[in-house]
Amino acid sequence: MQWNMRLKAAERGIWKSGEMRRLLAEAGLTLSAGKMSALWTGTPVTIRLDDLDVICDVLNCDPSALLIREPAKVAERRPRREQTANDRPAPIVAPRFGNPKSEPPL
C-alpha cells in the first residue's frame, strides 16, 4: 500500500504537518509531534480505523484516496512455483443438501 495523505493535504491547501496536526486536533484526534511526523513523511505500518476516519473527514476524502493499492508489489512477494503436467486445479467443494453426511470430493 502507498500512503497518500501528504498529496491529499496539499490538494486541500495544507502544506505543513503542523497545520494538519492542528486541524486533526480540532476534529478530535490529538497526535504527538512524532506520530504526526511519521504520518506526514512516510507510510505508516499500522493506523487505527478511528484515526483514519478523522483524517478522511479533515481531508474530505475516502480511505481509498489515502491508501493506494500496489498489486505489482504483492505479485513480487508471491513464491514462484514451477508448474508440471501433474498439477491439477483444486476440486470444487459444494454442499450436498438433504444428506447430513459429507463426502470427500472426487
Determine contact, residues 31/24, Cβ cutoff 8 Å.
Answer: yes
The x, y and z cell numbers of residue 21, run together, are 496536526
Examine residue 63 and state whether it is found in any structural domain, yes or no: yes
Number of domains forming the structure of the chain: 1
Establish if 100 belongs to a structural domain.
Answer: no
Residue 104 has pLDDT above 70, yes or no: no
Containing domain of residue 10, as a range?
2-73
Within a domain: 28: yes
Cβ atoms within 10 Å of 47's Cβ, excluding its own: 16
Is residue 17 in a domain? yes
Rounding to the nearest 10 degrees, give the CA dihedral for residues 43, 46, 51, 54.
40
End-to-end CA distance of the chain: 40
Domain containing 36 — which CATH number? 1.10.260
pLDDT tens by residue, 28-87: 999 999 999 999 998 888 999 999 999 999 999 999 999 998 888 888 888 877 655 566
Asked whether the beta carbons of 11 and 73 are under 8 A apart, the reply is no
For residue 18, being part of any structural domain is answered with yes
Would residue 79 count as lying in a domain? Answer: no
